[in-house]
Amino acid sequence: MEYRKLGKSDVEVSVLAFGAWAIGGWMWGGADSRQAVHAIEAAIDLGMTSIDTAPVYGFGLSEELVGKAIRGKREKVQLLTKFGMLWNEKKGKFFFASVDNSGKNIDIYRYASRERVISDCDESLRRMGTDYIDLFQIHWPDPTTPVDETMEALAFLQQKGKIRAGGVCNYSRDLLAEAGNSYHLASNQVPYSMVNRQIEKDVVPYCMENNIGILAYSPLQRGLLTGKIRSGHPFNEGDSRPGTPYYKEPNLSNILHFLETIKPVAERNHLTLAQLILNWTIHQPGITCALAGARSPEQVKENIKAADARISEEDFQFIHSELNKLTIDPSI
């Protein structure tokens, strides 16, 4: 496993990090908590020492499971969590309506006032049973709070020693520039996969110029790029994946066809599609780390092997030529 420095901070993350959204169950049709703890333990034992979670993932559940799995191993791991997404209060900007793990209707809000950032930090520390967070990130931009107020709260927490570094998620180039006026951001966490490369236009160049780390989320497009999901896949109730553009026709068929064309590259490198795709992700310009979600130790063990694979330039060029032929409509 390779470890890389996150921007100008002194936090080093594993190039493949454990993504802990699915284990919270919310928007993933539930999850098995025992398996989840074993999955994180396997990740840490195998060198995937960075774990990305958030309070809203299962409404505290994901952070609690992370806390359980890291007990006695705190110094070995880097805890990346988030703030500013509310399910228990209607404050800030309404984001979307959802249902919690018990089927109850809830409204999600984005809110990152100074007071809220500080109280969210204390709640996350409590749930994970630790006294510091390695990377504390705003989960989504909050248009109701001035950016510098949120950034100053991060600086305050860092000065207090409660967080080692502060970052953002889902920030545009312009928001990054605005935030940069009041705080040294360590990173931006953004969606990036072989089939979703929108950040290459301006976010990646900006982050590279300004030494801001990039954490690529949903690199397997939530499981689709493993090749296991076909038309008519039996998703659990509450799993939001079939409603997303990549899982809808004609995108789904186009992506499955693309995967068939690159499968020989995986095979000749003795890799699965998931391993090839994760390896490709961590070798793209500006990408510090890929957050790979997993529900079980088996998925972790498969994904982790992607970090050490060596793919030739020729194979990467072939993948890019096939990607150039792929058509995806992200608006359906």
Residues lying near ligand NAP in the complex (CB under 6 A) = 19-22, 52, 139, 169-170, 189, 217-223, 226, 228, 274, 291-295, 299, 302-303
User: Please, which residues bridge with residue 3 across strands?
Assistant: 14
| Least Å from the CB of residue 160 to ligand NAP | 24
Amino acid at 270: H
On whether the CB atoms of residues 261 and 318 are closer than 8 A, the answer is no
| Least Å from the CB of residue 117 to ligand NAP | 16
Q: Quote the CA–CA distance of 237 and 240 in Å, as a whole number.
A: 8
Amino acid at 291: L
Residue with Cβ nearer ligand NAP (34 or 161): 34
Q: Count Cα neighbours of 123 within 13 Å in the Cβ-side half-sphere.
A: 19
Residue with Cβ nearer ligand NAP (151 or 227): 227
| Least Å from the CB of residue 274 to ligand NAP | 4
Residue with Cβ nearer ligand NAP (265 or 274): 274
E strand spans, 160-309: 163-169, 187-191, 213-217, 287-293
Q: How far is CA 220 from CA 72, 95, 96, 273, in A?
A: 31, 24, 24, 9
On whether the CB atoms of residues 81 and 144 are closer than 8 A, the answer is no
| Least Å from the CB of residue 27 to ligand NAP | 9
| Least Å from the CB of residue 298 to ligand NAP | 7
Chain-centroid distance, C-alpha 189: 7
Residue with Cβ nearer ligand NAP (78 or 221): 221
Residue with Cβ nearer ligand NAP (228 or 325): 228
On whether the CB atoms of residues 51 and 17 are closer than 8 A, the answer is yes
Category of 286 on φ-ψ map: left (φ > 0), alpha (ψ -120 to 50) or beta: left
Amino acid at 10: D
- Our answer to whether residue 57 is catalytic in this structure is yes
Catalytic residue, chosen from 3, 57, 109, 111, is: 57
DSSP state of 146: -
Active site residues: 57
